[in-house]
Structure 1
Amino acid sequence: MNTIQARVACRIEIHGTVQGVGFRPFVYRLGRGLGVDGSVRNDDGLVVVEAAGPPETIATLAARLRTDAPARARVSELRIRELDGGAPAPGAGFTVEPSVRRGPAGHGPELRRTPPDLATCEACLAELFDPGDRRYRYAFVNCTDCGPRATIIDALPYDRARTTMDAFAMCADCAAEYADPADRRFHAEPIACPVCGPRLAWHIPGQDAARGEEDACGEDALRAAETCIRGGGIVALKGLGGYQLVCDATDEAAVGRLRARKHRPAKPLAVMVGSLAAARHLARVDDAEAAPLTSVARPVVLVEARPGRGLASAVAPGAPRLGLFLPYSPLHHLLLADLDRPLVVTSGNLSAEPIAIDDADARRRLAGLADGFLTHDRPIRSRYDDSVTHVVAGRASVVRRARGYAPEPIDLPVPAPEPLLAVGGQLKHTFTVARGGTAVTGPHTGDLEQQATMEAFTANLAHLCRVVGAEPHVVAHDLHPGYLSTQYAATLPVHRRIGVQHHHAHVASCAAEHGVTGPFIGVAYDGLGLGDDGTLWGGEVFVADLATYRRVARFGRAPLPGGAAAVRRPVRMALGYLFGGEGLDERTRATALRLARPLLRRLPPREVSTVRRMVERGVNCPVASSAGRLFDAAAALLDLRDDATYEGEAAVALEAAAGPGGAAPELPWRLVARDGMLVYDATRTLLALLEGRRDGVDVAVLAARFHATVAAVTIAVCSRVAARHGLRTVCLSGGVMQNRLLAEALLGGLSAAGLEPLINERVPVNDGGISYGQAAVAAARLRRG
């Protein structure tokens, strides 16, 4: 009787990322080890424990659910209450119960959480290369600690029946491992082996895909693909989140063919290597860069290349850094081990298209790019490209957030009072769904310029909303009416639409991920975004909080001759500044044109005269206060790039020319007051570049001094704004902040000036972070009513 009186029975709800990370097996072992009676189950997006035992044992159970949780789990909250009835009987033991699904609404005002795909763990790697193991060289080996998650899930709760593995019935051996609490594959939903799991297949373009013809399968398929790569061929490989194009990164001809077929003349290509040691052979990789490189996310990491280490020169021509990453799937590990050379591994698409995930679609779209297809029969449920990061001032910062990071939730500092969707911008597109204090940003889609990309966006959105249980009542969107995302927002059946200025979304994304609600100083250096005054912005300083902002400083304006044509051809931007830059009087213009004669002489005379007339007459010449366009103009004036084959190419060349950084003297610059704002008049800076070219100053010196000047201007502006408004926090964002040389100069200089600078880390500074910023702004505005 005393024993029964000493027992307590409770229900524990564990909220957070607790499915797909081995949480049920962990709780089962914990409950059995503590001797409590009860059960554990997936309940919609939660894990629910019902347990009975002595009070001190139940308290220990609750505490260890947090402290001892699996490494990939993220426990956000425990909710504990007494069981009203149905308490587990003494001696009943502890069990894993069937999952419960509660429909679209789930558990009320919370988003379900699902983990990203997890890189192959060391235990599975050991099996992969152990000739005595039954999964030896099996390209789909995984366990509760690794393998596909977000790319195979149909819905939560996370059970095999709601994944693309449902088509593969477990063999007796796998079923025994799945049911064995002592096995690391206990309730590992993607469990598979050569007997019962997915299998590789090799196809050569031109075969009849409808008849399912295969040239080889299993190990023979892998060998055929490797033979193709060794011979200089290009293989379309079906990865975790989509198809990839793979070739020998040391083969100049192969890389050249890949570029020609992919229509990607200059944008750097990512290189996969087999180990950290191999990465350090090709590049200077410090400990801060090694951390994301070897993390379970396995992103591409931008690092400083070591010249002359055998890579084809066409891998990253003219780029300041090389994108390296390590294998994250068993198939990649096998390829790297067998071929023993670095491989170009890039998205399976033509430039500007979404990556292919459907087999038939891949055969159609990639037939002209690949010499062979290494595929398999496990469907990809959701499109996830590879993530990209770099290290800024010792901290990893995401450049492209996709596989390995998305759809991991990010906190919202001001909770959304009702479910909302933020549809993002136009370039480097992402979307974000939010409810309460949680935001889930979808994976990188690409640029919304084609119907195929829009279809990829809407498909990913529908899938993620279903998985996380989001039914948006509010949509946040950019102010630009021409963005396809804005037009899409107008079609949604929601009760409220919230327009968010592009650069306010940028700085809000930085503030929100760091938990800042305001007020703060926001520095948004970007390409182009529509401003409140109808002009194009891109070099802006705000006094802001998450709900509101006031523009207090900007870059001087210049016309964009031909609009988008000036973005594609940076030398037109240089002409725009020469012919019509803000603050350029007739005397200064004459000086600038005299200094610019070498530039004008090397351009087609007709183009120069046409652009001059366009600027003078204001025909198709929208004006922009854009930092990105100023970098373009500087690159063209220094003869680094006249044309851009991808967004930001001229700025990348300018950063590369400037070298690794260090102290450089500023060029002349000035701040002027206009319309109640501080304005950076770049005229003197650009004239100094032209004077330097006339005097034979090395381009590298001028490029470094240009970066130092923009940093000095920004620090001066922020110091004045901080003094005037009593602020210390500075949030840095926008695509220009991808320039590591500039970002590190700002972080160091602003700190030295007594300010507290922050920069995006978990979401990109570029337009890939816009949707999260829109969600943060919309949530704050909804809270304010």
Structure 2
Amino acid sequence: MDRMAEVKAEKRLRFFVNGVVQGVGFRPFVFRLAKEAGFSGFIRNTSLGVCVEVQSSSIEKLGLFSRELFEKAPPLAKISSCEIAEIALEEESDFFIVPSDDTGAVQTMVSPDFGVCDDCREELLDVSNRRYAYPFINCTNCGPRYTIIEKVPYDRPYTSMRQFTMCPDCEAEYRDPVNRRFHAQPNACPDCGPVLSMLDLNGKTVDCIDPLGFALDMLRKGLIVAVKGIGGFHLAVDAFDAAAVRRLRKRKRREEKPFALMAKDIETAERFCIINDEERRTLLSPEAPVVLLKKKGACFSDDIAPGNDRLGIMLPYSPLHVLMMERGPSVLVMTSANCSDEPIVIENSEAVERLGGIADGYLMHNRPIYLRCDDSVTVHMSGKIRPIRRSRGYAPAPVLLSAGGPPVFATGAEIKNTVCLLKGDNAIVSQHIGDLKNYEAYSHFLKVTEHLQDIFRVSPELRVCDMHPSYLSTRWAWEQKDMPLLQVQHHHAHLASCLAENRCDDPVIGVILDGAGYGTDGTSWGGEVLIGNAAEVFRFASFEPVPLPGGDAAVSHPWKVAVGYLSCCFDTLPELDFLKNEDTSGVTQLLEKGINSPLTTSCGRLFDAVAALTGLRKDVSYEGQAAIELMQAAGTAEGEPYSCETVPAGNDRWIISLSPVIHGVVDDVRTGRSVSSISRNFHATLVALLCTVIEKAAAFSGIRKVALSGGVFQNIVLFEALVSKLEKKGYTVLAHALVPCNDGGISLGQAVIGREYLKGKYKGVV
């Protein structure tokens, strides 16, 4: 009788687990749980996720297993959903890991690349370990994933490691469920895995026993070494060698844009930078991004980060980096290996070809990189780490949405391009692709676009792109005839992106500030206050439109932008120091005749104009330079707002007048006020203006929730001051912390707007 009761109580449960659960040690974790509980059943990777079946007569143990599946999952595992069902009993005596099933539609997520874990780092530096000083050490808790995978399920034959046959020792680890290298797909050792090699500046192999030592000797001599990492090559020099840094800057044709640094360890980073708890956690995290940190003082040559009070610091995240930093200089410049605005180099032959004339030598290896992936860049603002560039370590981990829906693919913007695929309640935003005006970046865009859809075997029902007719991402979308296409307004996509990552479907007041975006009226927008959500928005207010003499070409010459603003505010061009030695006749003729002087409401151009008016920056060598330096000049003290006003524009709309602001800046310049003082006053003015307009929008709509998006909100002074004042006024503030506020987040917004279109709810900008 007891035996019959026991049989009736026996249950078999099936779990379909989705999320980042392949290649992160999830199967051996489940195997150990099941074995300890005495279950029979199996676990298997499938295209639908990880399938687990467990059978037991202990209901208590089955319940505990269900809880521990979530509560004790490996640190890199991210479970987004789990379907549990009771199924028929099977005749089994043990629990097994069975071969993967790659049939069916892909539901599981692909893991990003993660930095070397503590266990592997310890083995790497242990002279008694068989992987001592092996630069490709990894396990299920760390190492390359996304950059080596061609398709799912994540198994070795589908990665760029398939050319390396594991030796008996590695094979034994790979097959042992209690070993942390169990089914670690990049598993290898010095006997069977990838190896380093050293090439000279002509691309000829250097005959040396220790390629890494040879490369480090070059760095000590002030030479430039191209180093192949996980997602691409870096160009490295000794950060303490000012002449080497200047030589790298000249050869790379990167005049003033800051270089990223790699510090040996957190203690080294703290010698040069102020690091708070959140920044420390981020530096030490498996994602290991670049973090923009406040300098402690003049610790390096000004050529590292000219005109900037922050340094971009990362810690060694690959085993090769760890070995470099252990044996070489304690801080290295580690900048993406490219020239000008080209994408990062990933192939050995490509490195020699494209980096010729820049690198003095090449430290390479023979593990192919399937997908290029730049370092991610982050900054701490208003209590959170926020992405400036979302790439290695984060992509393609999904952004969880508030609801599911049909699959949609979005092509992003022109600069800082990313693409986005919606599948269920997951938004899969690609790694940073770059500026599509560059041919190599456009080729990268094509590869990522194809790969993202192939790897998840999804056929989108809609493709979404920007409205700008000249964007290559838009033109590519036009040329595809395989599905319907929706074009959405740039700033609406910014707003929708912020709402999506905050899982907010409600209408909000959206403050969208950036450099430029194609408006529904054919002009260039960039200082917008919108009311609405992903389905529709009302353009409640915008900055006063001003002419941009020379069009987009003026972006590189803030003094020309300033002349455009002055022409709107003064009858006669005032005599100011920044115009000395400049021939203004050509610019003023364009303005007078209305030739090639499109109107813009851009907040980014307003920053450029003020930077020029103060004499801080007349020309720029990289995007956003003038605005960054103006922000740096403000410091931490609060300013006094200039006179400002908002003007009714009819139909419940408002114009944010800029003429009083420009007059206030000009008056301060004439009276000899410092750039720092003017910058503080200008930032205070923007905050006051935006608060005023938000109050009007709240009175109009009854909404007390504000979303901030657009590249201008990378400005720490503006962002933190505005968030603080709005929260004190009782507003709920939504901002970006998962995708960039700049155009790197546009594709997410486009995609969720596309979902609204497929639901029949989309009305766009009204």
| Structure 2 residue aligned with 1:406 | 395
Alignment partners' CA distance in 2, 1:453 and 1:77: 35
Backbone CA RMSD of aligned residues? 1.4
| Structure 2 residue aligned with 1:21 | 24
| Structure 2 residue aligned with 1:523 | 511
**SS state at 1:522 partner:** strand
Deviation for aligned residue 1:414: 4.4
Structure 2, unaligned runs of 5 or more: 762-766
**AA of the residue aligned to 1:60:** L
Alignment partners' CA distance in 2, 1:77 and 1:719: 40
Q: Find 1:321's aligned residue among 310, 322, 330.
A: 310
Alignment partners' CA distance in 2, 1:518 and 1:494: 33
Deviation for aligned residue 1:45: 4.3
**AA of the residue aligned to 1:128:** L
Q: Find 2:137's aligned residue among 141, 155, 158.
A: 141
Alignment partners' CA distance in 1, 2:315 and 2:469: 41
**SS state at 1:542 partner:** strand
Q: Find 2:70's aligned residue among 66, 76, 79.
A: 66
Alignment partners' CA distance in 1, 2:62 and 2:529: 54
| Structure 2 residue aligned with 1:650 | 626
Equivalent runs, 1:61-460 vs 2, <5 Å: 61-84=65-88, 87-89=90-92, 92-103=93-104, 105-106=105-106, 111-207=107-203, 214-216=205-207, 220-309=210-299, 311-417=300-406, 419-460=407-448
1:554 aligns with 2:542: yes
Alignment partners' CA distance in 2, 1:148 and 1:492: 33
Alignment partners' CA distance in 1, 2:458 and 2:390: 20
| Structure 1 residue aligned with 2:576 | 597
Q: Find 2:47's aligned residue among 44, 49, 52.
A: 44
Alignment partners' CA distance in 2, 1:65 and 1:414: 24
Alignment partners' CA distance in 2, 1:20 and 1:641: 48
Contact 1:236 1:244 (C-alpha < 8 Å) held by counterparts: yes
Alignment partners' CA distance in 1, 2:510 and 2:207: 57
Deviation for aligned residue 1:79: 1.4
Deviation for aligned residue 1:757: 1.3
Alignment partners' CA distance in 2, 1:599 and 1:16: 55
Alignment partners' CA distance in 2, 1:277 and 1:776: 42
Q: Find 1:545's aligned residue among 504, 527, 533.
A: 533
Alignment partners' CA distance in 2, 1:244 and 1:471: 36
Alignment partners' CA distance in 2, 1:520 and 1:265: 41
| Structure 2 residue aligned with 1:564 | 552
Contact 2:261 2:312 (C-alpha < 8 Å) held by counterparts: yes
**SS state at 2:353 partner:** helix
**SS state at 1:345 partner:** strand
Alignment partners' CA distance in 1, 2:65 and 2:392: 33
Alignment partners' CA distance in 2, 1:693 and 1:280: 38
The range that moved more, 764-773 or 181-190, is 181-190
Contact 2:215 2:361 (C-alpha < 8 Å) held by counterparts: yes
Contact 2:495 2:708 (C-alpha < 8 Å) held by counterparts: yes
Deviation for aligned residue 1:704: 1.0
Deviation for aligned residue 1:167: 0.9
Q: In the TM superposition, what whole-angstrom CA distance separates every residue of 1:528-574 from its partner, at most 9, and x where no partner exists?
A: 11111111100000001111111001111111110012111111100
Contact 1:414 1:780 (C-alpha < 8 Å) held by counterparts: no
Alignment partners' CA distance in 2, 1:416 and 1:486: 24
Contact 1:38 1:51 (C-alpha < 8 Å) held by counterparts: yes
Contact 1:270 1:344 (C-alpha < 8 Å) held by counterparts: yes
| Structure 1 residue aligned with 2:612 | 636
**What is the aligned length?**
756
Alignment partners' CA distance in 2, 1:446 and 1:526: 17
TM-score when normalising by structure 1: 0.95
CA 1:45 to 1:343, structure 2 compared with 1: closer, same or farther past 3 Å? farther
Q: Find 2:485's aligned residue among 494, 497, 505.
A: 497
Q: In the TM superposition, what whole-angstrom CA distance separates every residue of 1:156-193 from its partner, at most 9, and x where no partner exists?
A: 11111111111111111111111222221122111111
**AA of the residue aligned to 2:95:** F
**SS state at 1:164 partner:** coil
Contact 1:669 1:684 (C-alpha < 8 Å) held by counterparts: yes
Q: Find 2:589's aligned residue among 601, 613, 635.
A: 613
**AA of the residue aligned to 2:282:** P
Deviation for aligned residue 1:681: 1.1
Alignment partners' CA distance in 1, 2:732 and 2:241: 47
Alignment partners' CA distance in 1, 2:610 and 2:48: 51
Contact 1:164 1:380 (C-alpha < 8 Å) held by counterparts: yes
Percent sequence identity over aligned pairs: 42
1:672 aligns with 2:647: yes
Alignment partners' CA distance in 2, 1:664 and 1:732: 22
Q: In the TM superposition, what whole-angstrom CA distance separates every residue of 1:11-55 from its partner, at most 9, and x where no partner exists?
A: 221111110110100010000000000111101141111221123
| Structure 2 residue aligned with 1:626 | 602
Structure 1, unaligned runs of 5 or more: 209-213
**AA of the residue aligned to 1:368:** G
Alignment partners' CA distance in 1, 2:504 and 2:349: 47
Q: In the TM superposition, what whole-angstrom CA distance separates every residue of 1:47-87 from its partner, at most 9, and x where no partner exists?
A: 111221123322222222111111111112221223346x1
Deviation for aligned residue 1:203: 0.3
**AA of the residue aligned to 1:781:** Y
**SS state at 1:301 partner:** strand
Contact 2:199 2:363 (C-alpha < 8 Å) held by counterparts: yes
| Structure 1 residue aligned with 2:764 | none
| Structure 2 residue aligned with 1:211 | none
**AA of the residue aligned to 1:733:** S
**SS state at 1:361 partner:** helix
Alignment partners' CA distance in 1, 2:145 and 2:730: 44
Contact 1:719 1:753 (C-alpha < 8 Å) held by counterparts: no
Contact 2:401 2:427 (C-alpha < 8 Å) held by counterparts: yes
1:482 aligns with 2:470: yes
Alignment partners' CA distance in 1, 2:286 and 2:38: 33
**SS state at 1:589 partner:** coil
CA 1:767 to 1:25, structure 2 compared with 1: closer, same or farther past 3 Å? same
**SS state at 1:5 partner:** helix
Contact 2:283 2:315 (C-alpha < 8 Å) held by counterparts: yes
The structure 1 segments of at least 4 consecutive aligned residues displaced by more than 3 Å after TM superposition are none
TM-score when normalising by structure 2: 0.97
Contact 1:45 1:113 (C-alpha < 8 Å) held by counterparts: no
Deviation for aligned residue 1:304: 0.9
Contact 2:343 2:434 (C-alpha < 8 Å) held by counterparts: yes
CA 1:15 to 1:207, structure 2 compared with 1: closer, same or farther past 3 Å? closer
**SS state at 1:692 partner:** helix
Contact 1:52 1:88 (C-alpha < 8 Å) held by counterparts: no
Alignment partners' CA distance in 2, 1:500 and 1:611: 33
**SS state at 1:743 partner:** helix
Contact 1:382 1:463 (C-alpha < 8 Å) held by counterparts: no
Contact 1:415 1:779 (C-alpha < 8 Å) held by counterparts: no
